[in-house]
Amino acid sequence: MSSTVELPLWLALAGGFLCAWFLASRLLLPGVRWFFRQRINKLMATLNQRLHLKIPPIAMTKREVLIDRLVYDPKVLRELTHHCESTGVPPEIALREVQRYAREIVPAFNAYLYFRLGNRVARAIVNMLYRVRLGHADSRALRQLTQNASVVFVMNHRSNIDYILVAYLASKRVALSYAVGEWAQVWPIQQIIRSLGAYFVRRGSGNELYRRVLECYVQMAIAGGSVQAIFPEGGLTRDGLLRPPRIGLLDYMLRSFDPAGERDIVFVPVGINYDRVLEDRTLLAEDFARAERRSGLAAVGNTLRFLGAQTWLRLRGRWYRFGYACANFGTPLSLKAYLAGAGWSPVALDRETRGRRVTQLAADLMSAVGRVVPVLPVSLVARVFIDAADESCSEEDIRTRAVELQRRFEALGAHVYVPRSDPDYSVLVGLRMLTLRNIVLESGGRYRANPAELALLRYYANAIAHLTDPIPRPELPR
């Protein structure tokens, strides 16, 4: 009984590791999980006292529970049965496909990461790049939003910084859940984005099974009171103009919406503009359509190259912030009130008729977004040079024309952001930004548009073009 037993070193190490893992998993890890759960619960209680719209229970539900609810949703199961019958795919294979879609879509919201880390990083990034301003907000109407309403922020899409800018500006009121494109599905970006409450969308997917899973998730999130943030344009504007809206996510929201039900959907229009868009030249490039379809790794590579170039400029003392970044929050639109005024109900319409009606709603929402897009110094001065593309102007001429244009926009009800409340300074800021980038050339005290940069100049002027040339509202067939 007292004889010695010899074991190989590798077996002794493996046994020791397994024992340590067992003890940690049974004794140490539960305590660690309890500690962090208490911290998160305390944070949630504090946030729900501070935030205007409290964090909904769906955001605190375990991700695995949400995935199971989505996979076994009756609509998803009906579509799965139809998919198996039409394609001959075995049910167990189709079910695994549905589970994969659900895991891809469902976020893993982490309040600590969103409010403690995410907000600080967002604040640092946007304030490092821009002079950030909240130009206009219908504060009275925004304060009247209640927990009984599912809030959807509807925004124009000018830059990938939009996600960070609006989340930062809205962080004192709500936690936003974004619909993010496939470009971000690369490690570790997708894990971070998912932890911040965002969900991924395959734009333009023709897979009906995937669409049904996405539809059911969107309806689950709306019913659960999750605050959504969507870009109806479906992608970044390539020419600076507002793009025609796509109705996919809006249609999903409305398909099961009952105007007589308890919960309303309230859309908040958000207009965004920048003195400089980080991706402007890339967006104007002829191969951008192909670049949009490239992998997330390519997007990360482009971002790193840009950051490297900006860091090099900063080390040489030649780096400047990119002017102003501004967002305006318009008057919320109640879907119940809209449907009552328009005289239709989504649940009472067939698919084709509902599609036409939702298209009109999307156009109305984009018009509301367009009305609150801020007029910034670069866009204002760019418009002056586009209107006088062949002229050489003095600084006084530019100032006079810009101030007249500013008054015209104000008379139309546009929100013009004037730095320091000084119109002359505003014009100088815009002119300096365009001159530093050689979009406008200066010689002998006179300025003219650079012929080689007219497309870029027009891109910034187009950001406010809809304010004087509104997008026509689609007419429904009688």
Looking at residue 7, its pLDDT comes to 65
What is the tens place of the pLDDT at every residue in 386-425?
A: 998 788 999 999 999 999 999 999 999 999 999 989 999 9
Report pLDDT for 26. 64
Give how far the C-alpha of residue 218 lies from the chain's centroid of Cα atoms, to the nearest Å. 15
* Higher pLDDT among residues 110 and 83, named by residue: 83
User: Around Cβ 383, how many Cβ atoms within 10 Å?
Assistant: 27
Structure-block tokens of residue 352 = 């084709």
Q: Tell me what the mean pLDDT of segment 425-444 comes to.
A: 94
CA distance 81 to 91: 7
- E strand spans, 78-236: 131-137, 149-155, 177-180, 199-200, 228-230
| Between residues 445 and 194, the one the model is more confident about | 445
Other CB atoms within 10 Å distance of the CB of residue 109 = 24
Q: What is the pLDDT, as a whole number, of residue 477?
A: 42
Contact at 8 Å (CB) between 254 and 354? Answer: yes
Q: Which of 17-26, 70-79, 152-161 has the lowest average pLDDT?
A: 17-26
Q: How far is CA 349 from CA 334, 344, 356, in A?
A: 20, 8, 10
pTM: 0.85
Tokens representing 123 are 């604040």
Average pLDDT over the chain, rounded to an integer: 85
Calculate mean pLDDT across residues 206-211. Answer: 88
Across 147-161, 183-197, 304-318, which has the greatest mean pLDDT?
A: 147-161
Residue 167 pLDDT > 50: yes
Handedness of CA 348, 244, 217, 114 (dihedral sign): negative
Percent of the chain with pLDDT over 90: 49
pLDDT at 476: 45
331 contact partners, CB below 8 Å, separation of at least 6: 138, 141, 269, 368
